[in-house]
Amino acid sequence: MTATTSNHAPADMSLLEEPITKLFWRYTIPTIASMLVTGVYVTIDGIFVGHYLGETGLAGMMLAYPVGAILYAIGAMIGMGSAALVSINLGQGNIAKARKLIGNAFSLCLLAGGFFALVGGYSRGIF
């Protein structure tokens, strides 16, 4: 194993050299697969909840699903947005700025989590 003096790994040149259609499917297929797995999970979960808890349990699950979807969307927005900014800065060689962005994204996740925990706590009368 050789020691390197560089602060970053070698770049993946496939993004520059491969045809766009091949790259499109390379990154699209895992996303589609994850969406299908999530859909199957929700369907099977609904079957079990409906079977064991009945209409009331199924109604509760369906009312809670949009809340979970919104929380997931906010987390994905923070994660994907910060990943894009970090990637751009790493590509430009701004490693210190990329590390600062990662810290900011983590702090934003903690703040968002705390905010939603407080909102959920107040709506349930816990606080």
- Domain membership flag for residue 7: no
Indicate the residue type of 15: L
Indicate the residue type of 67: V
Residue span of the structural domain in which 50 resides: 14-124
User: How many domains in the chain?
Assistant: 1
Structure token digits, residue 34: 């994850």
The kind and range of the H/E element at 93 are none
Per-position pLDDT tens, the chain of length 127 = 444 444 555 556 777 788 889 989 998 999 899 989 988 998 898 899 999 999 998 898 888 888 888 998 999 999 999 999 999 999 999 999 999 999 999 999 999 999 999 998 888 877 6
Q: What pTM value is reported for the model?
A: 0.65
- Domain membership flag for residue 53: yes
- Domain membership flag for residue 18: yes
- Domain membership flag for residue 1: no
Rounded distance between C-alpha atoms, residue 36 and residue 66, angstroms: 18
Contact between 99 and 86 under an 8 Å Cβ cutoff? The reply is: no
- Domain membership flag for residue 8: no
Rounded distance between C-alpha atoms, residue 49 and residue 58, angstroms: 6
Structure token digits, residue 24: 């499109």
